[in-house]
Amino acid sequence: MKTVGFIGTGVMGKSMVRNLMKQGFELYIYSRTKEKALELIAEGAIWCDSVAQCAAGRDALITIVGYPQDVEQVYFGEGGILCHADRGTYLIDMTTTSPQLSRRIDEEARARGLHALDAPVSGGDIGAQKGTLAIMVGGEKDDFDACAALFAAMGKSVIHEGPAGSGQHVKMANQIAIAGAVSGVCEAVAYAKAVGVNVGRMLETIGGGAAGSWQLQNLGPKMACGDDAPGFFIKHFIKDMQIATAEAERAGLHLNILRDVCAMYLELEAEGKGEKGTQAIIGYYQK
């Protein structure tokens, strides 16, 4: 496997492309906004003028776009991947999207002689830059094994979760856990500020105990100093939480903490903060 198409060169995709190129893969890239890809082109990635051009003639094609409707468009739309990828191509959607949509892609791919995997990621922009993403993969085990070198270039923890859609379901569980964790860190920071203790010292102290977490270590200091630059957009986290809520309801579950956290973020989005990082939830307590 040598030639790789890559659609979506945003905050995450850009670093993932770089890590693939470092491992010797030949990258063909497409993004709706070419300006987002100029650095990658200068570094050796080959620009494609359309989804169809990016899909044709590749050993594998990776997508990481914003929303389920974007996934649907690039796979099923006019000039989409499923119509233009060569038989035998491995299609890897790394967008966090609906498990039902991942199953639809898998079914259509099989009918066309293609291999499909849903492989959402966790670890944010930092994990993408360092090549240490957690990658949760759904699809056929043989297809997962065939793409091992691709996954190894981008991630540290790469696990086959089960059949098509399983990667997305595990990502939903991940986002449910993060919703509770990030809101907990936020409330700890808000409390420390309110009672007048040193916030940095508090984070260092509790980070060494049972409260220690990725969210505490990476987002706690940003909350403390008001750094709301995005590693992961609020608007994308809302999308994930809404998918998780719908999937939970489909399974007969009512996840109250998730609903509460989502409502807080929706309020921030309504204030124009959808493109801030998820740590900007601290703003909910600073009104």
b/e 41-73 (16+ beta carbons within 10 angstroms → b): eeeebebbeebbbbbbebbbbbbbbbbbebbbb
239 is an active site residue:
no
Catalytic hit among 2, 14, 22, 171: 171
Cβ–Cβ < 8 Å for 96, 178: no
Rg (CA), the chain: 19
Under DSSP, the state recorded for 191 is: H
Residue 17 near residue 10 (C-beta atoms within 8 A): no
Q: How far apart are CA 190 and CA 282, in angstroms?
A: 7
CB distance 137 to 151 below 8 Å: yes
Q: Which tokens in the block code for residue 221?
A: 């200091």
Strand partners of residue 91: 61, 116
Distance of alpha carbon 37 from alpha carbon 8, whole angstroms: 9
C-alpha span between 240 and 68 (Å, rounded): 10
Q: Pinpoint the alpha helices (H) of the chain.
A: 11-22, 38-42, 51-55, 68-76, 81-84, 99-111, 124-130, 141-146, 148-154, 166-195, 199-207, 214-225, 234-250, 256-270
So which residues are the catalytic ones? 171
